[in-house]
Structure 1
Amino acid sequence: MDKAAMARADRLQARRAELAKLTSGELTMLATDRGVAIDPTDTREEREFALASAMIDAEDAEAAATAAKEQDERERRKREAFYKTKEGKALIERELRQTRDRRIRQQHAAFIGALPSDARSKGVHVVPDSHAGAASPDVPDGTYRVSGSDWLLSFSGGRWVQASRAHDRGHPDWTEIPDVEGASVAARARPTTVDE
């Protein structure tokens, strides 16, 4: 018998000694309270053993749940402490930027794949409020350009609101994002103007 089995046997013996002090009615009432089914044909010893075993199982389950909860709390505090460090803040910023960029690339791909006629003719496309795919809570308000694209996507209030042709300016007023995940921003291609 290993140590764990021996410890359980000792606990069973101690618990059965406590239960032996109860009357039959008290034992039956305790079993009912604990949800332990007692067979009326069982001997007193069998009833004590079944109840003691169920009580120890419940204690073990409660101890395991408490230990798991404490471990989760330690891990949560450890994560919070890490996120307050310089490295943790950089990680959060990088993850938020990657999520933002991924969402912008998805919107850009969908827009380019179904380039609306107003965008082709006027160089601007205002996204209707009813547009099902316009929700973009991961993208902060601003204007973004997927590297190498001629189109700027504008976001406001957690939604994609407009697409417009990129303009030719010395200092762009948009945020350039990489065209593929994990890449850096490519050299800026000269954007076309609406008149071209």
Structure 2
Amino acid sequence: MTAPLPTRATRVVRPGDLAVRRPPRRSAGAGAEPLLAAPAATGPTPVPSFERFYETERAAIGRAIAFALGDADLAAEATDEAFVRAYERWPSVSQGNPPAWVYRVAMNWALSILRRRRRGVHRLYEPPDHEQAVVEPAVHAALAELDPKHRSVVVCRHVLGWSVAETAAALHLREGTVKSRLSRANQILQARLRHLRTEEDPS
């Protein structure tokens, strides 16, 4: 079933709004000045479909935001808000990296809400049942203990599968910062996972 699109009112840019109007042709005749050859018309750059982007990326970005925040309800609100903003600015957003743009806007919006609430992120995201067999509980517990800046890098790289460059663009960080945070996060996760698995199986 097709997912519903954002409903906030927005002005739609039609191809006709960007069309190049050519001057009328002049008939060649006695005394007529020769006409210069008109340059080939390139036309406007095609704008990718927002509906297709929404349907293919909404679920993955929503899960990634939930992993990063540790709060599924806030993640859903943040993701919806980011997609609405992307819809309003789609002609420009579509020319860059739309998934990274939406992820960044959603995270910034959610973190601003958290700051206003003056509380940290404590709740652990509970994934849908079909994900339970893929990610063991110890991994979720270890991720939940990372601070948001390290968790966001892990989510972009290992949940969304983005490159270092794509992660840097999404989080507005330098690539070197992404690498250093990822390295530190991996160290913390490995140590925490060893501890959790030892508790589960002391033998």
TM-score of the superposition, structure 2-length normalised? 0.25
- Higher helix proportion, which one? 2
Relative contact order, CA 8 A, sep 6+: which one is greater? 2
TM-score of the superposition, structure 1-length normalised? 0.26
- Higher strand proportion, which one? 1
